[in-house]
Amino acid sequence: MKSDSIQTTICQERKKDPIEILHSGQLVKVCAPMVRYSKLAFRTLVRRYSCDLCYTPMIVAADFVRSVKARDSEFTTNQGDCPLIVQFAANDARLLSDAACIVCPYANGIDINCGCPQRWAMAEGYGACLINKPELVQDMVKQVRNQVENPRFSISIKIRIHDDLTRTVDFCRKAEATGVNWITVHGRTVEERHQPVHYDAIKIIKENMSIPVIANGDIRSLKEAENMWQITRTDGVMVARGLLANPAMFAGYEQTPLQCVQDWVDIALELGTPFISFHQHLMYMMEKITSRQEKRLFNALSSTSAVLDYLTDHYGI
């Protein structure tokens, strides 16, 4: 676990409390937890372009607690990285509460992943299988509440929906009663991948909650985010792939502006981002602003210096 001269209570001292932000009545714009992608450098970039709240990639709590190497590779932050939610995959209350205690000085809260539909996660008892285990989720929330001393430290969950929506509403009510601060709803079932997002289901869940709800699923522009927010009457909208393709999306840009590409280069180099991640993010960002031939050339580049030369020659970056 790494931090750049971070004061251990920096996030709690700032007036950037996500619970307060989610009660503002304004559209709260959220960067989703994305494995490999929503790391410090990318979070730093999207915060420059009107993102209000960022999540880390999903971290397996058991590995995080047991391995210093896992902590150093999975969780990096700094003073500007706020407000921040650390998302954990967990199926054990004690391990989750231990993980929460470790990150508490450096983050505003934790999120329990109850929505990942990947087979490996569900086979391990993580992710979307937890929407069928409300008692386990309640136990994990209670343990974190009991172990973390900071009363402003948030606990949230991210879920998918059941085929029978009454089961999802019941699950969410139990989570709320146990002390969850907000719930993010991806508006698809575990089996659904590319089917349309069920806005009506998210709206029904919101209507049955007293705590904030964040809507999630297939948002590609600020206009779409505003539309989802208005239809579902939720408190915020979380975006994943749309932000990868256009990190300036929340600031109203229809495609990635060259200044955003320049900002990514500056941030990534300053923070020592590994080449594969540096290059991969650029491939996503430049998807809409490059021709097919340019893509072939750019995607084949194999070093940071080659990428920098290409950007200088073609875009003056």
What's the pTM value of the predicted model, to 2 decimals? Answer: 0.94
Same domain, 80 and 111: yes
Same domain, 34 and 176: yes
Q: With respect to residue 12, please indicate whether it lies within any of the assigned structural domains.
A: no
CA dist., res. 286 & res. 226, Å (int): 24
CA dist., res. 27 & res. 11, Å (int): 21
Structure-derived torsion over alpha carbons of residues 94, 11, 221, 155, reported in degrees to the nearest 10: 30
The annotation status of 240 as a binding-site residue, yes or no, is: yes
In the three-class reduction of DSSP (H, G, I as helix; E, B as strand; rest coil), residue 305 is classed as helix
Same domain, 99 and 208: yes
210-258 pLDDT per residue, tens:
999 999 999 999 999 999 999 999 999 999 999 999 999 999 999 999 9
Boundary residue ending a domain (247, 269, 303): 247
Q: How many residues belong to the chain?
A: 317
Q: Residue 88: beta bridge partners?
A: 59, 112
Please say if 11 is a catalytic residue. no
The annotation status of 241 as a binding-site residue, yes or no, is: yes
Q: With respect to residue 145, please indicate whether it lies within any of the assigned structural domains.
A: yes
Percent of the chain with pLDDT over 90: 91
Number of helices and strands in the chain (H, E)? 16, 11
Same domain, 228 and 269: no
At 8 the pLDDT is 40
Same domain, 191 and 222: yes
Output the CA torsion sign for 169, 172, 176, 181.
negative
For residue 274, what are its two tokens? 């590994």
At 6 the pLDDT is 38
The annotation status of 33 as a binding-site residue, yes or no, is: yes
- In this prediction, residue 272 has a pLDDT band, given cuts at 50, 70 and 90, of very high
The annotation status of 198 as a binding-site residue, yes or no, is: no
Q: With respect to residue 13, please indicate whether it lies within any of the assigned structural domains.
A: no
With contact defined as beta carbons under 8 Å apart, do 19 and 182 qualify? yes
Structural domain boundaries, residue 89: 18-247
170-221 pLDDT per residue, tens:
999 999 999 999 999 999 999 998 899 999 999 999 999 999 999 999 999 9
In the three-class reduction of DSSP (H, G, I as helix; E, B as strand; rest coil), residue 265 is classed as helix
Same domain, 198 and 175: yes
Which of these is catalytic: 31, 54, 114, 116? 116
The annotation status of 48 as a binding-site residue, yes or no, is: no
What is the count of structural domains for the chain? 2
CA dist., res. 73 & res. 35, Å (int): 12
65-118 pLDDT per residue, tens:
999 988 999 999 999 999 999 999 999 999 999 999 999 999 999 999 999 989
Q: With respect to residue 172, please indicate whether it lies within any of the assigned structural domains.
A: yes
Same domain, 235 and 302: no
Element (H, E) at 201: helix 199-207
